[in-house]
Chains A and B, each alone.
Chain A
Amino acid sequence: MSATYNGPKVCLWTLDHADPASLATYVANGGYEPLKKILAEQTPATEIIEQVKISALRGRGGAGFPTGLKWSFMPRNYDGDKYVVCNTDEGEPGTFKDRDIVEFNPHQLIEGMIIAGYTLGAKAGYNYIHGEIFELYESWEKALEEARAAGFLGKNICGSGWDFDLHAHQGYGAYICGEETALLESIEGKKGQPRFKPPFPASYGLFGKPTTINNTETLASIPWIMRHGGQAFLELGKPNNGGTKIFSISGHVNKPGNYEIPLGTPFADLLEMAGGVRDGHTLKAVIPGGSSAPVLPADIMMGCTLDFDSVAKAGSMLGSGAVIVMDETVCMVKALERLAYFYFEESCGQCTPCREGTGWMYRVIKRIEHGEGRPEDLDLLMSVGTNIAGRTICALGEAAVGPVQSFIKHFRAEFEYHIANKRCMVGS
């Protein structure tokens, strides 16, 4: 009996329609109605924020920060420009959900950004799109044109007298630009190096102006909330974890892909929906929330439900909802070497611990993988990790350490075998 989810979907529902990305499809299914209503009734910002708070929508970008609360940080009586920024940088290995929202339901994201702009008093918004997916940049620009032509963007939106516009900014190959302040620097035309916080973007953001940054999926959820109410969204998921969420499942499953299911769904169900572990193989380990999340062994994972709180309790994090599945053929040293290389390559380089430490960790792991490990290396790696985590400007430091410490913690025997025997414990 295979697990399925047939309830309402917040973001990827257009995929059940013939022409999912079109304005026509979106409008025919009630799209832009919430926006029109808000503009017609001039709904007070506080009311919108209240609904978002009730919905228990938590940021889909990785940290799971309550969106309603974030929005309430924006200064109300600021006379100057303010901005809304959407984070479609999506470079966390394993994550590929936001691209599907932009590709298959761009207008819901546009509407979400417009409502955010209205609520937060912004003058314009930017969507930062992952560098390698140029097709997305083009399709999004096209969708913006459609929205402009239909009077949803630009001057005097829907006859309300309110002006607001959206633009695309294309990344060009730097994972760190997913970090919100690096992303702002990047839009400003600089190297994407994170800023120290405080000040937070809500007071000093894009071009030094108050700015709210949310993930694509977060912003795309807003129209649904405004249409059905915060309570309905909350009830899709579970308390403190409102809504459905897109899980990107990759690795050793039969049907990798995006699955939009309620928060709180057991992992086992998701695995089933994705066709189960590669035929003839058994589950070894899962990274439940993108490459930065600590890895969990199969047994722990199989007992876990997919929501922010449960995964945290199990010792990892839900992060962006990117589930990387590994079967018994995976050499954990080799897998970790690849991840360690990624963080070493992607460190922006400003913080000493991250710049120096990610390279150090990578080189040690590489040595182990190539049969030159030393007995003291594992303790060294743990200790170097401790000296990085929590001591950097942004969370990439922690992100780089999470895999290293968790791989060693849960699969120490495999690493020790590698060091002692100068080869893999698994045959891959």
Chain B
Amino acid sequence: MPVVTIDDKQIEVAAGSTVMDAAREAGIYIPHFCYHKKLSIAASCRMCLVEVDKVAKPLPACATPVTEGMVVRSHSERAVEAQKGVMEFLLINHPLDCPVCDQGGDCLLQDIAMGYGGVASRYAEPKRVVTEKDLGPLVATDMTRCIHCSRCVRFGQEIAGLMELGMPGRGEHTEVMPFLAHQVTSELSGNVIDLCPVGALTSKPFRFNARPWELSRRRTVGPHDGLGANLAIHVKGNRVYRATPVDNEAVNECWLADRDRYSYEAINSDERLLTAMVKDGGQWLAVDWRQALAQAAGALKVIRDTHGGNAVGFIASPRQTVEELHLFQKLARALGCENIDSRIDRADFAGQRDGVEWLGMPVADLNGLDRVLLVGSTVRKEQPLIAQRLRQAVKQGAQLNVVHVADDDLLCRVANKLIARPSGLVEALAQVAKAVGAEVEGLGTVVVSEAAQALAASLKSGEKKAVLLGAVAQQHPAAAELHSLAQAIARATGATLGFLADAANQVGAGAVGCRPGQGGSNAAAMFAEPKKAYVILGAEPELEAWDAARAHDALAAAELVIVMSPFLGHGSDYAHVMLPIAAYAETAGSYVSMEGRLQSFNAVVPPQGEARPAWKVLRVLGNQFDLAGFGQDSVGQVLAEALPEGEATVRARLGNGIAGVAVAHLHAGAGIERLGETPIYQLDAYTRRAPALQATADGQAGQAAAASGVLIARLGLAEDKPVKVRHNGAETVLKLVRDDTLPDNVVRVAGSLAAASRLGPRYGEISLEKM
């Protein structure tokens, strides 16, 4: 390990380190723009020039490898002279518009320029002006400010896996832009805003809304997928203005999916439920909390007393906090009800599980895998940052294998894939199971294809392996069969079995027992055999449920529905009492991520209007029934009760094992079938209400029906035209778009979509008709 001296500090660094690495380790700051720890080395901005003994020219610290005995000066006269020279060049064509720039106060160029004093510019020629580019609804541009560091371009190529921005042109005519007016479509696109060291790329929804120095940053955890991304919410005057990532190498590194960055818009949405409301003779009345709670508890008590606790269904969103879900299930059970669930969009609850399903390993270990089998996951859209980690693993030589219902572009090399229609997914996975020699009964008739054979060979080689089940697999009508096949494959190949949690607190919900108890019904059953009353926490079953239409009808027919939600939503159609609760940044609490990581956070803003944190609402509801154990006065107390040993308690409750499932669905259907997965920006109540996300290509695509060109032609339909979709006796009209990644005879009509909410289950036969 070479020993080097930087600014008189001696330090031993790993062989192969650069001067920049060494300086960072020694705690010495060397100014830079193009260098970024997660990106390849460009060495082009030249800001990091340092003096190296015995070398005549100044060298860029970011790209110069250290050698034994090297003596580096980063602040010597010669080094500073070189750095000042570069700074002068950077500023000659940079508009000095800091007072109106969104980056002002938050700008690397401004910061470093300050360090070099306000030298009068020697540049007397006209400044360059660059035309604006349209990058879509998320990222705003001010390209005249660009300093050509190329970070945004390298991000696309290296991290997002998709080169959407480039630098056409040459010399000073080089401009950062997408090809023509194509919008940037990556689900990670917002990261270029953080990467841009100046104000050339900024957040479009945030634009001109506040100045960085007026904002205070408060930490929280992403409320969407089960990654648990760490983020900072920027607040001014109790209003959320933007969200940016907080570095956590073990979780989100320094990145954020667009979903986590822009969904804050929903907090400020005008669909917020701001006061408690009760329905009185068909009319909604705004009432105060006391009245609302008294009425809710009173009505619930009547039903419980007349029909028993199990006449009620308790449905919660898996994006509520550990504390909320704990009190929720506690209340239900105290009322004698075992119908408790948060798995609203699941269809298949068969088999005996030995714990709460989780990733089976730390998230950070994904990068080090060398064999992966991804089952039923539209991974880029379900788990944007997990997809990114898998992409890095592939770059390091991992073989990524896929068994899925669509041939998605994963933006990296896929070693082997089996693409089947949804009804054929079990059979496809069974081929793999058979090919690896897994111990599963009833696979006698399964014919192993060449692709499955190759996939099996991949899984049988290598050391660090995982079989991961995505949201499509978990929502599948034969999810338990997929689970047990995946388990058998993992066992036969020595791989870890893991679940990609699609909700922020999916694991936490399981860990606190937000699951049906003895004799209780699961979410699907609660709607299939309607209950007299429902208590809904944060969820929108009329969109999210496995069978949204049926859920809606069950709710509409119930004698009593109590909805606790941050939003007005469709609750007003069927509810009898609506209680306004805090949105995600408005409450303290905890999430358990898919890797079993317990992350607690404070509220960053107070709830809007009369809304209150749900854990407090639930506690007071408990008090209304004079129940014992509802006297907590902090989330800390609730957490201590829910998970006494914290993360250790969670760990003790995890388990991916399944037993008692027979593999039976080995034959694909014959007709045209629906693929009703949840699109990236229909994931939850927040994303659905974030206008910028809805305006993206993904947001738009999620609203349409999609089929392959072959199928569209065969049905005599037209692309990009409205089409009548019939399913389960209901029909709706959607725009039909072409998506050649879909297998033949499959139509993607998303779940969780308002326009498709009358259509019935997420999977099953479907038909398309010309308008």
Interface residues of A (CB under 8 A from B): 174, 191, 196, 198, 344-353, 355-360, 363-364, 367, 374, 380, 383, 386-387, 390-393
Contact indicator B125/A363 (Cβ below 8 Å) = yes
Q: Closest B residue to A380 by CB, please name it.
A: B122
Mask of B131-162 contacts with A, CB within 8 angstroms, 1/0? 00000000000000001101000000000000
| Majority-rule SS of B interface residues | loop
Q: A196-B63, A352-B147 are in contact. Are A391 and B170 (CB under 8 A)?
A: no
Q: A198-B65, A355-B148, A356-B89 are in contact. Are A174 and B57 (CB under 8 A)?
A: no
Q: Determine how close the nearest CB of chain B comes to the CB of A390; give it in whole angstroms.
A: 4
Q: Determine how close the nearest CB of chain A comes to the CB of B33; give it in whole angstroms.
A: 8
Contact indicator A349/B169 (Cβ below 8 Å) = yes
B170 CB contacts on chain A under 8 angstroms? 174, 191, 345-349
| A-B pairs with beta carbons under 8 Å apart, 18 shown | A198-B65, A346-B171, A347-B172, A348-B170, A349-B167, A349-B171, A349-B172, A350-B42, A350-B44, A352-B46, A353-B85, A356-B172, A358-B172, A360-B125, A364-B125, A380-B122, A387-B85, A390-B56
Q: Determine how close the nearest CB of chain A comes to the CB of B586; give it in whole angstroms.
A: 45
Contact indicator A356/B93 (Cβ below 8 Å) = yes
B44 CB contacts on chain A under 8 angstroms? 350-352, 393
A174-B170, A355-B174, A391-B49 are known; give 20 further A-B pairs, CB within 8 A: A196-B41, A196-B42, A196-B43, A196-B60, A345-B171, A346-B170, A347-B171, A349-B171, A349-B174, A350-B42, A351-B46, A353-B85, A357-B89, A358-B172, A359-B125, A367-B125, A374-B124, A380-B122, A391-B46, A393-B43
Does B179 make an interface contact (CB < 8 A)?
A: no
Q: Which residues of B27-79 are within 8 A (CB) of A?
A: 41-47, 49, 56-58, 60, 63, 65
Q: Determine how close the nearest CB of chain A comes to the CB of B76; give it in whole angstroms.
A: 15
Contact of A344 among B63, B150, B172 (CB under 8 A): B172
Contact indicator A355/B43 (Cβ below 8 Å) = no
- Closest A-B pairs by Cβ, 10 of them: A387-B85, A356-B89, A390-B57, A350-B44, A347-B171, A196-B43, A349-B174, A363-B125, A349-B171, A196-B63
Q: What is the bound-complex CA distance between A383 and B89, given in angstroms? A: 12
Q: Determine how close the nearest CB of chain A comes to the CB of B122; give it in whole angstroms.
A: 6
Q: Closest A residue to B46 by CB, please name it.
A: A352
Q: Closest A residue to B149 by CB, please name it.
A: A352
Q: What is the bound-complex CA distance between A325 and B42, given in angstroms? A: 39
B169 CB contacts on chain A under 8 angstroms? 349
Does B173 make an interface contact (CB < 8 A)?
A: yes
A198 CB contacts on chain B under 8 angstroms? 65
Does B192 make an interface contact (CB < 8 A)?
A: no
Q: What is the bound-complex CA distance between A400 and B508, given in angstroms? A: 63
Q: What is the bound-complex CA distance between A367 and B126, given in angstroms? A: 12
Q: Determine how close the nearest CB of chain A comes to the CB of B42; give it in whole angstroms.
A: 7
Q: What is the bound-complex CA distance between A380 and B123, given in angstroms? A: 9
Q: Determine how close the nearest CB of chain B comes to the CB of A172; give it in whole angstroms.
A: 12
Q: Determine how close the nearest CB of chain A comes to the CB of B661; give it in whole angstroms.
A: 48
Q: Closest A residue to B175 by CB, please name it.
A: A349
Q: What is the bound-complex CA distance between A348 and B63, given in angstroms? A: 19
Q: Determine how close the nearest CB of chain B comes to the CB of A301; give it in whole angstroms.
A: 27
Q: A347-B170, A349-B169, A353-B85 are in contact. Are A360 and B123 (CB under 8 A)?
A: yes
Q: A196-B43, A352-B47, A390-B56 are in contact. Are A358 and B171 (CB under 8 A)?
A: yes
B43 CB contacts on chain A under 8 angstroms? 196, 393
Q: What is the bound-complex CA distance between A352 and B89, given in angstroms? A: 7
B697 CB contacts on chain A under 8 angstroms? none
Contact indicator A390/B171 (Cβ below 8 Å) = no
Q: What is the bound-complex CA distance between A344 and B49, given in angstroms? A: 23
Q: What is the bound-complex CA distance between A195 and B89, given in angstroms? A: 21
Does B26 make an interface contact (CB < 8 A)?
A: no
Mask of B416-460 contacts with A, CB within 8 angstroms, 1/0? 000000000000000000000000000000000000000000000
Q: What is the bound-complex CA distance between A393 and B148, given in angstroms? A: 15
Q: Closest B residue to A367 by CB, please name it.
A: B125
A357 CB contacts on chain B under 8 angstroms? 89
Contact indicator B171/A391 (Cβ below 8 Å) = no
Mask of B509-546 contacts with A, CB within 8 angstroms, 1/0? 00000000000000000000000000000000000000
Q: A344-B172, A391-B82 are in contact. Are A352 and B125 (CB under 8 A)?
A: no
Does B92 make an interface contact (CB < 8 A)?
A: yes
Q: Closest B residue to A358 by CB, please name it.
A: B171
Contact indicator A353/B173 (Cβ below 8 Å) = no
Contact indicator A350/B172 (Cβ below 8 Å) = no
Q: Which of B82, B85, B148 has the most CB of A within 10 A?
A: B85
Q: Determine how close the nearest CB of chain B comes to the CB of A393; give it in whole angstroms.
A: 6
Q: Which of B45, B93, B170 has the most CB of A within 10 A?
A: B170
Q: Which of A355, A359, A380, A383 has the most CB of B within 10 A?
A: A355
Q: What is the bound-complex CA distance between A348 and B49, given in angstroms? A: 20
Q: Closest B residue to A362 by CB, please name it.
A: B125
Does B86 make an interface contact (CB < 8 A)?
A: yes
Mask of B7-20 contacts with A, CB within 8 angstroms, 1/0? 00000000000000
Q: What is the bound-complex CA distance between A312 and B49, given in angstroms? A: 28
Contact indicator A353/B41 (Cβ below 8 Å) = no
Q: Which of B60, B150, B172 has the most CB of A within 10 A?
A: B172
Contact indicator A350/B82 (Cβ below 8 Å) = no
Contact indicator B148/A391 (Cβ below 8 Å) = no
Q: Closest A residue to B65 by CB, please name it.
A: A198
Contact indicator B172/A390 (Cβ below 8 Å) = no
